[in-house]
């Protein structure tokens, strides 16, 4: 019984397979496959038509892209030049600041030296004024005593 059922199922499957092959013998694709390929063919033809209409615009877009790339390259070169110029300006500014600091330090040292010299001269002037005052006082004291004695020789000279 199992053998008969297995044989019957096997014959049924083989018969079904040959029947299917015979029915589709002339056709490789089914109707739905044909519709799919026709739709695919239509879409490819419309895509080619759109491509033909888009080619001039693509050319213009390519030209614009080239112009933008050139502009970008030029701007990058200008930026590089500006960066180089800024670096040289920063170097010059640093050099000028260092020179200014050097001059300010030198000026501070010279100002201190000038103030020290001015104090020394003030002290010397004070000492000189003190000596002149002492000499003037000594002359003033000696003159009345010398008047009684006679005229000094330098006072008698006629000019």
pLDDT digits (tens, 9 = 90+) for 54-65: 888 888 999 999
pLDDT at 30: 63
Beta-carbon count within 10 A of 7 CB: 10
| Alpha carbons 63 and 71: distance in angstroms, whole number | 12
Distances 92 to 42, 88, 103 between C-alpha atoms, Å:
71, 6, 16
pTM value is: 0.41
Burial 85-100 (b: 16+ CB within 10 A, else e): eeeeeeeeeeeeeeee
pLDDT digits (tens, 9 = 90+) for 71-103: 999 999 999 999 999 999 999 999 999 999 999
């Amino acid at each position: 019984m199992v053998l008969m059922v297995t044989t019957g199922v096997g014959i049924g499957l083989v018969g079904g397979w040959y029947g299917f092959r015979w029915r589709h013998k002339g056709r490789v694709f089914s109707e739905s496959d044909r519709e799919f390929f026709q739709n695919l063919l239509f879409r490819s033809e419309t895509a080619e038509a759109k491509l033909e209409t888009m080619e001039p615009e693509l050319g213009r877009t390519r030209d614009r892209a080239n112009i933008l790339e050139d502009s970008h390259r030029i701007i990058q070169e200008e930026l590089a030049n500006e960066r180089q110029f800024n670096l040289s300006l920063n170097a010059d500014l640093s050099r000028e600041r260092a020179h200014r600091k050097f001059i300010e330090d030198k000026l501070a040292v010279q100002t201190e030296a000038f103030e020290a010299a001015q104090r020394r001269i003030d002290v010397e002037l004070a000492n000189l004024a003190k000596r002149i005052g002492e000499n003037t006082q000594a002359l003033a004291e000696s003159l009345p005593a010398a008047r009684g004695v006679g005229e000094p020789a330098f006072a008698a000279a006629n000019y």
